[in-house]
A and B are shown apart, each in its own frame.
Chain A
Amino acid sequence: GAGVSQSPRYKVAKRGQDVALRCDPISGHVSLFWYQQALGQGPEFLTYFQNEAQLDKSGLPSDRFFAERPEGSVSTLKIQRTQQEDSAVYLCASSFGIDRKAFFGQGTRLTVV
Protein backbone atom coordinates (compact mmCIF):
# COMPACT_ATOMS: atom_id res chain seq x y z
CA GLY A 1 0.00 0.00 0.00
CA ALA A 2 0.89 3.64 -0.12
CA GLY A 3 1.60 3.94 3.59
CA VAL A 4 1.69 2.06 6.85
CA SER A 5 -1.79 0.98 7.83
CA GLN A 6 -2.88 0.17 11.37
CA SER A 7 -6.13 -1.28 12.58
CA PRO A 8 -8.25 -0.71 14.47
CA ARG A 9 -7.84 3.05 14.88
CA TYR A 10 -9.52 2.91 18.26
CA LYS A 11 -9.99 0.04 20.68
CA VAL A 12 -11.76 0.02 24.02
CA ALA A 13 -11.05 -3.05 26.11
CA LYS A 14 -12.29 -4.11 29.47
CA ARG A 15 -9.58 -4.78 32.01
CA GLY A 16 -8.47 -8.38 31.70
CA GLN A 17 -9.46 -8.68 28.04
CA ASP A 18 -6.98 -9.71 25.36
CA VAL A 19 -6.44 -7.40 22.37
CA ALA A 20 -4.70 -7.72 19.01
CA LEU A 21 -3.43 -4.72 17.05
CA ARG A 22 -2.55 -5.07 13.39
CA CYS A 23 0.08 -3.33 11.29
CA ASP A 24 0.40 -3.49 7.49
CA PRO A 25 3.81 -2.03 6.59
CA ILE A 26 4.78 -0.44 3.32
CA SER A 27 5.32 -3.17 0.73
CA GLY A 28 8.95 -4.28 0.54
CA HIS A 29 9.96 -2.72 3.84
CA VAL A 30 12.29 -4.99 5.73
CA SER A 31 12.28 -3.30 9.12
CA LEU A 32 9.21 -3.00 11.33
CA PHE A 33 8.92 -1.29 14.69
CA TRP A 34 6.28 -1.05 17.40
CA TYR A 35 6.14 1.92 19.75
CA GLN A 36 3.95 2.88 22.70
CA GLN A 37 3.04 6.53 23.15
CA ALA A 38 1.48 7.68 26.40
CA LEU A 39 -0.51 10.92 26.44
CA GLY A 40 1.78 13.92 26.16
CA GLN A 41 4.93 11.83 25.82
CA GLY A 42 7.27 10.76 23.08
CA PRO A 43 7.01 7.26 21.61
CA GLU A 44 8.74 4.50 23.56
CA PHE A 45 10.31 1.57 21.73
CA LEU A 46 8.66 -1.81 22.17
CA THR A 47 10.09 -4.20 19.60
CA TYR A 48 11.87 -4.50 16.23
CA PHE A 49 11.56 -7.00 13.37
CA GLN A 50 13.83 -7.54 10.42
CA ASN A 51 11.67 -9.48 7.98
CA GLU A 52 10.13 -12.23 10.13
CA ALA A 53 12.87 -12.24 12.75
CA GLN A 54 12.20 -10.39 16.00
CA LEU A 55 15.69 -9.05 16.71
CA ASP A 56 14.86 -6.84 19.67
CA LYS A 57 12.03 -7.10 22.16
CA SER A 58 13.76 -5.27 24.96
CA GLY A 59 11.03 -2.62 25.19
CA LEU A 60 8.09 -4.93 25.78
CA PRO A 61 6.94 -3.95 29.29
CA SER A 62 5.85 -7.40 30.45
CA ASP A 63 5.25 -10.94 29.31
CA ARG A 64 1.66 -9.92 28.60
CA PHE A 65 2.93 -8.22 25.45
CA PHE A 66 3.69 -10.35 22.44
CA ALA A 67 4.45 -9.40 18.82
CA GLU A 68 4.79 -11.46 15.69
CA ARG A 69 5.47 -11.02 11.99
CA PRO A 70 5.28 -14.59 10.68
CA GLU A 71 5.70 -13.95 6.95
CA GLY A 72 7.83 -10.84 7.15
CA SER A 73 5.00 -8.52 6.21
CA VAL A 74 1.94 -7.93 8.42
CA SER A 75 2.64 -7.72 12.14
CA THR A 76 0.38 -8.17 15.14
CA LEU A 77 0.93 -6.82 18.62
CA LYS A 78 -1.02 -8.79 21.20
CA ILE A 79 -1.66 -7.70 24.75
CA GLN A 80 -3.04 -10.28 27.12
CA ARG A 81 -5.06 -9.52 30.26
CA THR A 82 -5.03 -5.78 29.59
CA GLN A 83 -4.46 -3.39 32.49
CA GLN A 84 -5.34 0.29 32.77
CA GLU A 85 -1.68 1.26 32.43
CA ASP A 86 -1.70 -0.28 28.94
CA SER A 87 -3.90 2.62 27.74
CA ALA A 88 -1.85 4.44 25.13
CA VAL A 89 -1.43 4.96 21.41
CA TYR A 90 0.41 2.08 19.77
CA LEU A 91 2.40 3.15 16.73
CA CYS A 92 3.82 0.93 14.04
CA ALA A 93 6.57 2.03 11.66
CA SER A 94 8.38 0.41 8.78
CA SER A 95 11.51 1.18 6.82
CA PHE A 96 13.39 -0.17 3.87
CA GLY A 97 16.37 -0.56 6.16
CA ILE A 98 19.27 0.87 4.24
CA ASP A 99 18.02 4.46 4.20
CA ARG A 100 16.95 4.39 7.87
CA LYS A 101 13.80 6.36 7.05
CA ALA A 102 11.00 5.04 9.23
CA PHE A 103 7.43 5.76 8.16
CA PHE A 104 4.69 5.58 10.74
CA GLY A 105 1.08 4.52 10.68
CA GLN A 106 -1.67 6.57 12.31
CA GLY A 107 -1.60 4.42 15.41
CA THR A 108 -4.17 2.54 17.45
CA ARG A 109 -5.53 4.30 20.50
CA LEU A 110 -6.14 1.68 23.17
CA THR A 111 -8.28 2.56 26.15
CA VAL A 112 -8.60 0.01 28.93
CA VAL A 113 -11.61 0.55 31.19
Chain B
Amino acid sequence: AQTVTQSQPEMSVQEAETVTLSCTYDTSENNYYLFWYKQPPSRQMILVIRQEAYKQQNATENRFSVNFQKAAKSFSLKISDSQLGDTAMYFCAFMITLGGSEKLVFGKGTKLTVNP
Protein backbone atom coordinates (compact mmCIF):
# COMPACT_ATOMS: atom_id res chain seq x y z
CA ALA B 1 0.00 0.00 0.00
CA GLN B 2 1.15 3.52 -0.75
CA THR B 3 0.36 5.74 2.23
CA VAL B 4 1.49 8.96 3.87
CA THR B 5 0.93 9.62 7.56
CA GLN B 6 1.04 13.06 9.12
CA SER B 7 0.55 12.49 12.83
CA GLN B 8 0.09 16.13 13.83
CA PRO B 9 -3.32 17.44 12.72
CA GLU B 10 -2.55 20.91 14.10
CA MET B 11 0.50 22.80 15.29
CA SER B 12 1.26 26.33 16.34
CA VAL B 13 4.47 28.31 16.65
CA GLN B 14 5.46 31.80 17.65
CA GLU B 15 6.71 34.13 14.95
CA ALA B 16 10.49 33.88 14.42
CA GLU B 17 10.70 30.47 16.08
CA THR B 18 11.39 27.09 14.51
CA VAL B 19 8.85 24.33 13.98
CA THR B 20 9.12 20.78 12.65
CA LEU B 21 6.29 18.95 10.91
CA SER B 22 6.41 15.15 10.87
CA CYS B 23 5.71 12.78 8.01
CA THR B 24 6.14 9.07 7.50
CA TYR B 25 5.31 7.15 4.38
CA ASP B 26 5.06 3.63 3.11
CA THR B 27 5.95 2.43 -0.35
CA SER B 28 7.59 -0.63 -1.81
CA GLU B 29 9.13 1.41 -4.63
CA ASN B 30 12.80 2.32 -4.62
CA ASN B 31 12.60 5.32 -6.91
CA TYR B 32 10.33 8.09 -5.76
CA TYR B 33 10.26 11.76 -4.96
CA LEU B 34 9.09 13.40 -1.76
CA PHE B 35 7.41 16.76 -1.43
CA TRP B 36 6.00 19.23 1.00
CA TYR B 37 3.17 21.39 -0.27
CA LYS B 38 1.62 24.40 1.44
CA GLN B 39 -2.07 25.21 1.02
CA PRO B 40 -3.21 28.59 2.36
CA PRO B 41 -6.93 29.47 2.59
CA SER B 42 -6.83 30.54 -1.07
CA ARG B 43 -6.68 26.77 -1.86
CA GLN B 44 -3.64 27.07 -4.13
CA MET B 45 -1.24 24.19 -3.49
CA ILE B 46 2.25 25.66 -3.44
CA LEU B 47 5.34 23.47 -3.75
CA VAL B 48 7.61 24.15 -0.78
CA ILE B 49 10.40 21.63 -1.21
CA ARG B 50 11.29 18.46 -3.12
CA GLN B 51 13.61 15.58 -2.29
CA GLU B 52 14.77 12.80 -4.59
CA ALA B 53 14.81 9.52 -2.68
CA TYR B 54 18.13 8.45 -4.18
CA LYS B 55 19.88 11.53 -2.81
CA GLN B 56 21.18 11.33 0.74
CA GLN B 57 21.68 15.05 1.11
CA ASN B 58 18.72 16.80 2.69
CA ALA B 59 17.03 19.42 0.52
CA THR B 60 16.86 23.04 1.64
CA GLU B 61 14.97 26.04 0.27
CA ASN B 62 15.71 29.22 2.17
CA ARG B 63 13.98 28.87 5.58
CA PHE B 64 12.65 25.39 4.74
CA SER B 65 14.66 22.21 5.14
CA VAL B 66 13.90 18.53 5.41
CA ASN B 67 15.22 15.64 7.46
CA PHE B 68 15.00 12.63 5.15
CA GLN B 69 15.56 9.23 6.74
CA LYS B 70 15.05 6.71 3.95
CA ALA B 71 15.40 3.56 6.03
CA ALA B 72 12.85 4.84 8.51
CA LYS B 73 10.66 6.23 5.70
CA SER B 74 10.53 9.55 7.46
CA PHE B 75 10.47 12.98 5.85
CA SER B 76 10.04 15.88 8.26
CA LEU B 77 9.89 19.57 7.37
CA LYS B 78 11.66 22.21 9.43
CA ILE B 79 10.60 25.84 9.11
CA SER B 80 13.07 28.30 10.58
CA ASP B 81 12.32 31.91 11.52
CA SER B 82 8.58 31.31 11.12
CA GLN B 83 6.59 34.11 9.52
CA LEU B 84 2.90 34.96 9.71
CA GLY B 85 2.62 34.10 6.02
CA ASP B 86 3.62 30.52 6.78
CA THR B 87 0.20 29.95 8.33
CA ALA B 88 -1.41 27.26 6.13
CA MET B 89 -2.13 23.57 5.74
CA TYR B 90 1.01 21.59 4.97
CA PHE B 91 0.81 18.36 3.03
CA CYS B 92 3.51 15.75 2.76
CA ALA B 93 3.45 13.70 -0.45
CA PHE B 94 5.45 11.28 -2.51
CA MET B 95 5.40 10.63 -6.22
CA ILE B 96 5.81 7.20 -7.71
CA THR B 97 6.13 6.16 -11.31
CA LEU B 98 4.47 2.90 -12.25
CA GLY B 99 4.11 1.61 -15.78
CA GLY B 100 4.54 5.06 -17.27
CA SER B 101 2.00 6.61 -14.92
CA GLU B 102 2.86 9.13 -12.26
CA LYS B 103 0.93 9.51 -9.05
CA LEU B 104 1.25 11.85 -6.08
CA VAL B 105 0.08 10.34 -2.81
CA PHE B 106 -0.77 12.87 -0.10
CA GLY B 107 -1.11 12.78 3.65
CA LYS B 108 -4.07 14.32 5.46
CA GLY B 109 -2.17 17.48 6.28
CA THR B 110 -1.02 19.49 9.27
CA LYS B 111 -2.62 22.84 10.00
CA LEU B 112 0.14 25.25 11.02
CA THR B 113 -0.64 28.53 12.75
CA VAL B 114 2.07 31.11 13.25
CA ASN B 115 1.22 33.43 16.12
CA PRO B 116 2.44 37.04 16.37
* Given known contacts A43-B91, A50-B100, A55-B101, A104 and B45 CB-to-CB distance under 8 angstroms: yes
- B46 — nearest CB in chain A belongs to which residue? A104
Contact size range, A = 20 to 34
B103 within 8 A of A: yes
B50 nearest CB neighbor, chain A only = A101
Q: Closest Cβ of chain A: how far from B64's Cβ, in Å?
A: 15
Check B104 against A102 for contact (C-beta < 8 Å): yes
In chain A, positions 27-48 with a C-beta closer than 8 Å to chain B are 31, 33, 35, 41-45, 48
- Asked if B61 CB lies within 8 Å of chain A CBs, one says no
Given contacts A48-B101, A56-B101, contact A102 B91 (CB under 8 A): no
With contact pairs A43-B91, A106-B42 given, residues A101 and B47 touching in the complex (Cβ less than 8 Å): yes
What is the CA–CA distance of A31 and B109 in the complex, to the nearest angstrom? Answer: 24
> Is there an interface contact between B47 and A48, defined as CB atoms closer than 8 Å?
no
Give the nearest-CB partner of B100 in chain A: A55
Q: Do most interface residues of chain B lie in helix, strand or loop, or is the interface mixed?
A: strand
Is there contact, CB below 8 Å, between A42 and B100? no
Among B43, B91, B103, B108: residue with most chain A CB under 10 A: B43
Q: Contacts A42-B91, A42-B108, A100-B95 given: A106-B103 contact, CB under 8 Å?
A: no
- The answer, yes or no, to whether A65 is at the interface (CB within 8 Å) is no
Cβ A42 vs Cβ B106 within 8 A: yes
Confirm or deny: A107 has a beta carbon within 8 angstroms of a beta carbon on chain B.
yes
A97 contacts which chain B residues (CB < 8 A)?
Answer: 102
| A48-B107 CB under 8 A given contacts A100-B33, A106-B42 | no
Lowest 9 A-B CB distances belong to which pairs?
A42-B106, A104-B45, A56-B101, A55-B101, A100-B33, A107-B43, A42-B108, A106-B44, A43-B106
Report B's interface with A, CB cutoff 8 A.
4, 33, 35, 37, 42-47, 50, 91, 93, 95, 99-109
Residues of A within 8 A of B (CB): 31, 33, 35, 41-45, 48, 50, 55-56, 89, 91, 93, 95, 97, 100-107, 109
> What would 7 more interface pairs be, CB under 8 Å, given A101-B50, A106-B44?
A42-B4, A42-B107, A43-B106, A50-B100, A50-B101, A56-B101, A105-B44
